Structure 1
């Protein structure tokens, strides 16, 4: 299917589809009438597979159909059973798809009405095809939830970019916060602290028409940060303090996103993973929460002299191996927290550093980051870009740790999609010799934003920051070595 045809079909469905499935979610039909209340969403797309997701209103069978044509004449179908135990959510892995092919899909619950979406598979592994994607973080925080007048209109602007996929890097909900009315659509007035409340917050988000419509038409890869569970948490620490909250938050996240649970028996909710997009890019989505030491710990420990870890030994080794084996032009390391800004959302210094940088105290995770960067340098791994969020302002930084006048790697960040906007921190950790190419924001301003990255056929990479009005706030093009 041509790019032009894909764009035309996408626009037609975007106009009609959101109303279809959102109205289904708000229907006053009798409780026993099967219907889709949330979704559909496609995710984890590869050159030959996709994970599809939806939620129904009663126990039953979700049937997912996938076809190369919008009349579904040649559709293949996969089913998923849903019930109370999974809050009527279900997903299906569809395999044996063709590379770089646009597919239409639909899902129905039992004999209920179907809702539709579409996705395009990734290029073949040996195909250096151009592509573009959007990314962002921090949705629905500090009372900036679903505006009754505009909703999350930033996703309408995203859809207009016609991206190949969406990378949601973390803080997909704000469980510890509330969405007061009348400033927001009712439904999230209380913080989420248990399984039902976590589930309710995801449902609240997915009932926004612009957001739901965008996700129906754009494949998503999603990661988490802290607000899916609790502000600034570490997995091992929360497992001791409140194991039920940790378990509930993880369960709800996996129930409400098209993310396949790992088959590694020792780590049911493993989220770190790698995906490729043709020959041009490998993406390494990190889990910076589940294995990290508490943020109050020093780096290294003044007692044992052991460095802190954010990734844990197994994830760190996995990342090293993946980067060393990657033959892609660009290697994107997706970290939910920034590298050189000492914290994400500002906290009293006694609480410690939440991001990688140590800065003026020793409570960051800098030793582990330096070990990773030393490995990258020692293995001659080129064209590494870190994609980050969490700061509540967008920025671009080049790094020249060997101080030879040429950047060794870059960090591009987008935040928030819809949360409090903050001014850029005045100081950076100088360890990696950073140069700020761009940083923008003012306290409680309106710079809701997302990042857009385009990779050309020759490998040139362009990073843009786009605001909710569709204006380009920054653009930077870099070329691969």
Structure 2
């Protein structure tokens, strides 16, 4: 059913695209080399992110690493080139319609993008229908012109109402970078594979890119340039114009490894990192939020950088990653939820076990007090699971003390196994794989399963390898 749906959607998009392109004149821009992203979708709203560019396509030839990646034993200290996908002034608007409705597109107003926001703009679409599939068109023109210079099409799904017992499939991955590119200018093949599964929504748990890994970003211009690049790769761009997405951040896409407020990396400050993240992805008022997807699914996305204590502070009741306000919100809203299955999606592990030398997350000794508090709380919530990013290996673990189940989605591909992994621990691990890919969760008739999948398809099946399956709700 999922494969039939995605093929139908691709046909619809192709028809809209052919119609839209008829109105595009020969021009010198602006264009959409950095693509679009559709995110923060709930029952009645969505945010469409756009950025206008000088060129139709990013300059992937600026550095060899941009298309060849980097082997795990290679070192590279190149700086990020700033002109990979230059921004450009212009005007943009978005048209959208539910795909099963025979009516004209609704349109936003034409909006001028500003250099101070890296030529980006985020359109909030409101009054949408719940549980619906939408098609959208993004149109671009020069300031004051009536001729289109560029256009692209997209699609997304809105969340069903909390009373609707409909099937839901969602996908989670983590940790991608320029150095782990596996398909040249097409980017990361996992995005092509994930799109074929036709998920209702997608979550990236953070480390969407790495400022502190080659090519290095030590100022605002370099940081923005890497964001401009990472979604300009063909697979990455194509996925994000067709799937409802939620973006989280962690350390490397905030500033640097294991960072906390007040730090710097070169000329880049922690506060600048926070601003750039909100500028470069569709985002609402808060970076921690919860979204209900029908009767059986609710997700919580937490923020692990903005409110945290320094890693160097001695552990105790006051030391925190979440901050007191966010933690109170998390516990309150989880208790209030009547969803059949509750998924806490976090940038870093709560159960682990982690590898040696780490002291930055709730499974480490440095935050053991709050980590134990969370595990004790989660253990009391029915059918509640942790989905974890950050770790460069796929795993499923169960805390031997509380029984909390944690699912590590793994990095975007096998190439991103930088930094090594711990050994399998039978007291925790139900599954342990030193590979990357993604996690797919499917809920049908109230029954849920999690599947750890490879980034690419295997053999002649046209489908990814399923490395492990965990049936949820049995603990």
TM-score normalised over the length of structure 2: 0.81
| Aligned-pair CA distance for 1:398 | 2.1
Given candidates 410, 414, 423, the residue that maps to 2:409 is 414
Structure 1 position 78 matched with structure 2 position 108: yes
Secondary structure class of the residue paired with 1:460? strand
For 1:273, which of 274, 289, 308 is the aligned residue?
A: 289
1:150 Cα deviation after fit: 5.9
Q: Tell me the CA shift for residue 280 of structure 1.
A: 1.1
Give secondary structure in 1 for the equivalent of 2:91: strand
Structure 1 CA distance for aligned equivalents of residues 30 and 100 of structure 2: 23
Report what 2:37 is aligned to: 41
Q: Is this contact kept in 1: 2:447–2:472, CA < 8 A?
A: no
| Structure 2: segments with no counterpart, 5+ residues | 54-87, 142-147, 458-463
Q: Give the alignment's TM-score, normalised by structure 1.
A: 0.80
Alpha-carbon shift at residue 251 of structure 1 (Å)? 2.0
CA distance in 1, matches of 2:15, 2:260: 41
Q: Tell me if 1:119 matches 2:150.
A: no
Q: Distance in 1 between the 2:16 and 2:105 partners?
A: 19
Distance verdict in 2 for CA 1:286–1:372, change over 3 Å: same
Give 1:86 deviation, angstroms: 0.8
Partner of 1:193: 218
Alpha-carbon contact 1:465-1:475 (below 8 Å) kept: no
SS state at 2:187 partner: coil
Cα distance between partner residues in 1 of 2:381 and 2:170:
23
After superposition, the C-alpha distances for 1:156-212 in whole angstroms (9 at most, x for unaligned) are 11111111111101100011111xxxxxxxxxxx31122211111011111110111
**1:286 and 2:302 aligned:** yes
Q: Which of 311, 316, 319 in structure 2 is aligned with 1:308?
A: 319
What are the residue-to-residue correspondences of 1:22-37 with 2, within 5 Å? 30=28, 33-37=29-33
Among candidates 466, 469, 476, match of residue 470 of structure 2: 476
Aligned match of 2:277: 253
Provide the C-alpha distance between the structure 2 equivalents of 1:376 and 1:77, rounded to a whole number of angstroms: 43
Matched, 1:51 2:51: no
Q: 1:108 aligns with which of 139, 143, 152?
A: 139
Cα-to-partner distance string for 1:76-101 (whole Å, 9 max, x where unaligned): 11244311111111111111111111
Distance 1:67 1:18 in 2: 14
Instruction: Tell me which residue corresponds to 2:239.
Output: 214
Q: CA deviation at 1:20?
A: 13
Give distance in 2, aligned partners of 1:367 and 1:199: 36
| Paired position in structure 2 for 1:394 | 394
Q: Quick check: 2:131–2:161 contact (8 Å CA) kept in 1?
A: yes
Cα 1:126–1:213 change in 2 (3 A) is same
In structure 2, do the counterparts of structure 1 residues 124 and 71 end up closer, same or farther at CA, with 3 Å as the change threshold? Answer: closer
The corresponding residue for 2:68 is none
Q: Is the 8 A contact 1:329 1:480 kept in 2?
A: no
| 1:471 Cα offset (Å) | 1.2
Aligned CA-pair RMSD: 3.0
| Superposed counterparts of 1:143-162, under 5 Å | 143-145=179-181, 147-148=183-184, 151-162=187-198
Task: Tell me if the contact between 2:453 and 2:466 (Cα under 8 Å) persists in the aligned partners.
Answer: yes
Q: Unmatched 5+ residue regions in structure 1?
A: 22-26, 179-189, 263-269, 301-305, 403-407, 442-446
C-alpha distance in 1 between matches for 2:116 and 2:108: 20
